[in-house]
């Protein structure tokens, strides 16, 4: 039976069919749906881990304990997990271990654009790269087989267009895979120098064997048609090229590290002109040139952003398909904090108080843009707290009184908690604001340690920010209603001036959480009272706009949080009496 | 068949693309559906592509190759109109949703979009889908109301469209959505 499946859904199906028993992840676009689909298979024991490093560590333990295991994350998540990655490459595994990493070329929802194939090369482990949903499923199974055959973790590299495209997938039965015996083998798994030195030799031998496999396996395919143009490619770029120049010959890598040298030599020798069409970095191109072959690559294809059929068509055939003129000068529509979002209040106040704000990764990063403009810096998950302390290290205690760190609840557990401990331990004075909306909102509402629920929806311990703060030695802990602007302003003013570290928790559930009840009301603008001062627009709520004279509320967007009512000095925002 | 769905985050572009993808699969075609979300869920521009035919390679519709741009909002229609091929159709909800640069007064919402659409060499089909959705009983049915209009303008049988909606939309919202579809389909 064929089913139309999202790439990520097909990955989950592959895990199920391959007899995977354990799956871990931290959510991150475009990888999140893998785990959201895996949890639908009760045979698989799955979890949201607090961050990617922990997710990989749990997965390594599980694989050594004998269960086929997958762990998934986005590209920047692999940076967090890089430490265990580099060593599990040495120790190897027992049952199959697949590390699924989704890259985001063009940065549709990421802070940078990085190429996970480098991590495969760095760790000297194989990287598989599917080009559609069917291959997503097939390569999960193949990846686990390679993992077990060569005693190596394997990376499955996805990209936004593979993860978030749907195509047809042939469903198959679940394989019968037994739990392997626990592999008690300290000389392999205790990576102390004496053992690691032996494994260092082993991984070079393994890489050689993997290169031979790359040449002999069907995962790397040559398709000859017209030999005038040869195209070497992988992943979704194969589909772009196939659509644009269908009559060319192709060498498609399903395994993008290590590469099949013999196949490459044969292909390049058989084609008149060979192009290397790869998304992001010139990794294939450099390898191919290093074996003395001449190919055309990044001198005509961009190294930045996603590729497309248009790019290869323009470069190779000099044809353009555009016939309808683009309408110029249109206003952009950037993403914004949702109507009713509880982060709006803290950001409004931080801006009003002119504080330096070290920001973090999540929906609330949007508080850095027009019209709130309330964030100075954003680097990576968990960085805000350490950076606020860095502000103080550089510019002293008085600067700490003019700055704060903001961080979401999930991000705090991910990697903010260690920064907070650092501040307390090193006698800093920073104020840290946890924007607690009781969910991992940015990626589409995943549970986390403060929501009281696990991935599968079971009740669990709800870890308490206040208790945690006290236990690490913070004396000043305040909890504030995020919609109460007056209380927020007073609290923040007091805490930034305190002579010790402070923790402020702004509390309100995300307005989009299903099943949460709000006591919201309907509001409208009284045009008689509105003076057109536009102060209400400063909250950056998409439900309020300005018609040239007075403000107006779009009732199809407004959720009735009433924050704007408190901003209006003329009481022009009034409750609708039903 | 290449279709571009252009919408504002939260308007239901992803569900609409699922319905079209299911329709194509039910017709026995090869099909690819692609969307990008994440940040765009927060009221930003969202675009989804649906492609079906004998064999589909790229999941992305190229500029100048779309048979249909199905736009859930005027400005979003304008943003993707150059994806249409000559004589392609723009089916667009006439609703206007101000983006943040307009709300903050940094830019103006273009007032002449319908004139511009009429000047282009395309089939321009404006639809007041918000009113249809309101009448059907939920503002959220803009997407399916537009699919009704699209169905009427296609040569695929109506029953196939209804089956695709039934296969895709969760049971408890099905009745409302079928109503919105019918109203879109029967629009004069």
Tens digit of each residue's pLDDT (9 = 90 or more) over B109-146: 999 999 999 999 999 999 999 999 999 998 889 999 99
**Are A309 and B60 in contact (CB < 8 Å)?**
yes
Residue B35 vs residues A2, A108, B174: alpha-carbon distances, Å: 21, 11, 23
pLDDT at A410 over 60: yes
- Residue A507 corresponds to which tokens in the numbers above? 């509390």
DSSP element (H, E) containing A221: strand A220-223
Size of interface A-B (CB pairs under 8 A): 188
Chain B residues 32-61 with a CB less than 8 Å from chain A: 32-45, 56-60
* B181: helix, strand or coil: helix
**Are A308 and B58 in contact (CB < 8 Å)?**
yes
pLDDT at A546 over 90: no
DSSP element (H, E) containing A167: strand A165-170
Looking at residues B158-187, what average pLDDT do you find?
96
Cβ contact B167:B18 at 8 Å: no
Confidence of residue A578 (pLDDT cuts 50, 70, 90): low
Q: Where are the beta strands (DSSP E) in chain B?
A: 2-8, 30-35, 45-53, 66-71, 84-93, 123-127
CB-count burial class (<10 Å; 0-12, 13-18, 19+) for A471: exposed
- Residue B99 corresponds to which tokens in the numbers above? 């983006």
CA distance linking residue A561 with residue A342, whole number of Å: 9
pLDDT at A409 over 90: yes
Q: Is A256 on the interface with B (CB under 8 A)?
A: no
- Please state whether beta strands A255-257 and A248-253 pair in parallel, antiparallel, or not at all (unpaired): unpaired
| Nearest beta carbon to residue A324 from set B25, B104, B121 | B121
CA distance linking residue B95 with residue B62, whole number of Å: 26
DSSP element (H, E) containing A48: strand A45-48
* A375: helix, strand or coil: coil
Interface test with B, best of A329, A331, A339 (most B CBs within 10 A): A331
Q: State the DSSP string of B125-152.
A: EEE-HHHHHHHHT-GGGHHHHHHHHHHH
Residue A87 vs residues A5, A83, A97, A148, A322: alpha-carbon distances, Å: 34, 7, 14, 17, 50
Say what the pLDDT of residue B38 is.
57
Looking at residues A242-261, what average pLDDT do you find?
97
Say what the pLDDT of residue A323 is.
83
Interface test with B, best of A74, A75, A110, A165 (most B CBs within 10 A): A165
Question: Among all residues of chain B, which has the CA nearest to that of A545?
Answer: B103
Instruction: Provide the percentage of residues in chain A whose pLDDT is more than 70.
Output: 100
For residue A384, give the nearest of A366, A406, A408, A364 by alpha carbon: A406
Chain A residues 15-54 with a CB less than 8 Å from chain B: 29-30
For residue A28, give the nearest of A66, A64, A78 by alpha carbon: A78
DSSP element (H, E) containing A405: strand A403-408
pLDDT at B64 over 80: yes
Say what the pLDDT of residue A554 is.
86
Looking at residues A203-225, what average pLDDT do you find?
98
For residue B144, give the nearest of B161, B157, B156 by alpha carbon: B161
Say what the pLDDT of residue B40 is.
56
Say what the pLDDT of residue B41 is.
64
**Are A309 and B32 in contact (CB < 8 Å)?**
no
Residues pairing with B31 in the sheet: B52
- Residue A482 corresponds to which tokens in the numbers above? 């995020």
Q: Give A363's contacts in chain B (Cβ within 8 Å).
A: 42
- Please state whether beta strands A220-223 and A248-253 pair in parallel, antiparallel, or not at all (unpaired): antiparallel
Encode A151-189: b = buried (16+ Cβ within 10 Å), e = exposed. ebbbbbbbbbbbbbbbbbbeeeeeeebeebeeeeeeebb
Q: How far is CA A380 from the centre of its chain?
A: 11
Q: Is B106 on the interface with A (CB under 8 A)?
A: yes
Cβ contact A67:A95 at 8 Å: yes
Rg over CA atoms, chain A: 27
Backbone dihedral angles phi then psi of residue A102, each to the nearest 5 degrees:
-105, 115
CA distance linking residue A411 with residue A288, whole number of Å: 41
Backbone dihedral angles phi then psi of residue A183, each to the nearest 5 degrees:
-95, 90
Say what the pLDDT of residue B22 is.
97
Q: What is the ipTM of this complex?
A: 0.93
Confidence of residue B103 (pLDDT cuts 50, 70, 90): confident
Looking at residues A337-360, what average pLDDT do you find?
95
Closest approach of B51 to chain A, Cα-based (Å): 10
Q: Is A161 on the interface with B (CB under 8 A)?
A: yes
Rounded to the nearest 5 degrees, what angle is found at the Cα of A398, between the Cα atoms of A395 and A403? 80
Q: What is the pLDDT of residues A153-202, one digit of tens each?
A: 999 999 999 999 999 999 999 999 999 999 999 999 999 999 999 999 99
Q: What is the pLDDT of residues A307-329, one digit of tens each?
A: 999 999 999 988 777 789 899 99
Q: Is A549 on the interface with B (CB under 8 A)?
A: no
- DSSP conformation class of A537: G
Q: Give A554's contacts in chain B (Cβ within 8 Å).
A: 97
How long is chain A? 578
Contacts of A544 (CB under 8 A, 6+ apart): A536, A537, A551, A552, A553, A554, A558, A564, B103
Domains of chain A from N-terminus onward: 2-216 (3.40.50.970), 220-317 (3.40.50.920), 343-507 (3.40.50.970), 523-575 (3.30.70.20)
Average pLDDT of chain A to the nearest whole number: 96
Cβ contact A102:A160 at 8 Å: yes
Greatest extent of chain B over all pairs of C-alpha atoms, in Å: 49
Q: What is the pLDDT of residues B10-56, one digit of tens each?
A: 899 999 999 999 999 999 999 999 987 655 567 889 999 999 999 99
Question: Among all residues of chain B, which has the CA nearest to that of A535?
Answer: B104
CA distance linking residue B90 with residue B153, whole number of Å: 11
pTM above 0.90, yes or no: yes
CA distance linking residue A192 with residue A143, whole number of Å: 28
Q: What is the pLDDT of residues A439-467, one digit of tens each?
A: 999 998 999 999 999 999 999 999 999 99
Domains of chain B from N-terminus onward: 2-186 (3.40.920.10)
**Are B84 and A324 in contact (CB < 8 Å)?**
yes
How long is chain B? 188
Chain A residues 444-503 with a CB less than 8 Å from chain B: 444
């Amino acid at each position: 039976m064929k089913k139309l499946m999202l790439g990520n859904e097909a990955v989950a199906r592959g895990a199920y069919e391959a007899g995977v028993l354990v799956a871990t992840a931290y959510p991150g676009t475009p990888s999140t749906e893998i785990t959201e689909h895996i949890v639908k298979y009760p045979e698989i024991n799955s979890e949201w881990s607090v961050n990617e490093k922990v997710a990989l560590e749990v997965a390594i333990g599980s694989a050594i304990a004998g269960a086929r295991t997958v762990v998934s994350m986005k590209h920047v998540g692999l940076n967090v997990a890089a430490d265990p990655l580099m060593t599990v490459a040495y120790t190897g595994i027992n049952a199959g271990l697949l590390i699924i990493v989704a890259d985001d070329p063009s940065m549709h929802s990421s802070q940078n654009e990085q190429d996970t194939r480098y991590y495969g090369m760095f760790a000297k482990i194989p990287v598989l790269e599917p080009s559609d949903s069917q291959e997503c499923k097939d390569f999960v199974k193949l990846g686990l087989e390679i993992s077990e055959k060569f005693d190596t973790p394997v990376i499955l590299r996805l990209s936004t267009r593979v993860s978030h495209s749907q195509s047809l997938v042939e469903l198959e039965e679940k394989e019968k895979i037994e739990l392997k015996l626990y592999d008690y083998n300290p000389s392999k798994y205790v990576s102390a120098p004496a053992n690691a030195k032996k494994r260092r030799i082993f991984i070079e031998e393994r890489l050689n064997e993997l290169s031979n496999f790359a040449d002999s396996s069907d995962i790397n395919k040559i398709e000859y048609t017209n030999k005038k143009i040869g195209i070497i490619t992988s992943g979704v770029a194969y589909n772009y090229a196939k659509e644009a120049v269908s009559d060319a010959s192709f060498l498609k890598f399903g395994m993008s590290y290590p590469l099949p040298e013999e196949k490459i030599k044969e292909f390049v020798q058989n084609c008149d002109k060979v192009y290397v069409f790869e998304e992001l970095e010139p990794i294939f191109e450099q390898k191919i040139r290093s074996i003395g072959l001449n190919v055309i690559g990044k001198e005509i294809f961009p190294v930045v952003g996603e590729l497309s059929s248009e790019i290869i068509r323009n470069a190779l055939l000099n044809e353009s398909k555009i016939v309808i003129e683009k309408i110029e000068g249109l206003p952009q529509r950037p993403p914004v904090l949702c109507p009713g979002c509880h982060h709006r209040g803290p950001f409004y106040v931080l801006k009003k108080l002119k504080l330096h704000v070290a920001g973090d990764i999540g929906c609330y990063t949007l508080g850095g843009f027009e019209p709130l403009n309330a964030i100075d810096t954003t680097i990576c998950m968990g960085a805000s707290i350490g950076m606020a302390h860095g502000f103080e290290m550089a510019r002293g205690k008085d600067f700490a009184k003019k700055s704060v760190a903001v961080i979401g609840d999930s991000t705090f557990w991910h990697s903010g908690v260690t920064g907070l401990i650092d501040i307390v331990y090193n006698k800093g004075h920073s104020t840290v604001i946890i924007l607690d909306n009781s969910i991992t909102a940015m990626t589409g509402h995943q549970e986390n340690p403060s929501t009281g629920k696990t991935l599968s929806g079971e009740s669990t311990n709800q870890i308490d920010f206040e208790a945690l703060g006290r236990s690490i030695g913070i004396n000043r802990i305040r909890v504030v209603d995020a919609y109460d602007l007056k209380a927020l302003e007073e609290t923040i003013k007091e805490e930034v001036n305190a002579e010790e570290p402070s923790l402020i928790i702004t509390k309100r559930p995300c307005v989009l959480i299903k099943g949460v009840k709000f006591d919201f009301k309907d509001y409208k603008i009284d045009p008689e009272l509105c003076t057109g001062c536009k102060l209400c627009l400063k909250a950056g709520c998409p439900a309020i706009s300005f018609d040239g004279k007075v403000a107006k509320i779009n009732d199809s967007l407004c959720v009735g949080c009433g924050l704007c009512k408190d901003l209006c000095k003329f009481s022009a925002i009034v409750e609708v009496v039903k | 068949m290449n279709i571009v769905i252009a919408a504002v985050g939260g308007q239901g572009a992803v569900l609409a693309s699922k319905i079209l993808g299911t329709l194509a699969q039910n017709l026995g075609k090869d099909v690819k559906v692609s969307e990008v979300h994440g940040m765009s869920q927060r009221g930003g521009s969202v675009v989804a592509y649906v492609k079906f035919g004998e064999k589909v390679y790229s999941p992305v519709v190229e500029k100048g190759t779309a048979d249909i741009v199905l736009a859930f909002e005027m400005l979003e229609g304008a943003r993707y109109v150059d994806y249409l091929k000559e004589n392609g159709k723009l089916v667009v909800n006439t609703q206007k949703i101000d983006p943040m640069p307009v709300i903050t007064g940094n830019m103006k919402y273009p007032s002449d979009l319908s004139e511009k659409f009429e000047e282009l060499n395309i089939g321009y089909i404006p639809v007041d889908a918000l009113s249809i959705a309101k009448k059907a009983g939920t503002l959220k049915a803009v997407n399916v109301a537009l699919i009704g209009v699209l169905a009427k303008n296609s040569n695929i049988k109506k029953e196939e469209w209804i089956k695709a909606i039934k296969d895709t939309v969760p049971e408890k919202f099905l009745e409302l959505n079928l109503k919105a579809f019918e109203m879109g389909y029967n629009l004069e």
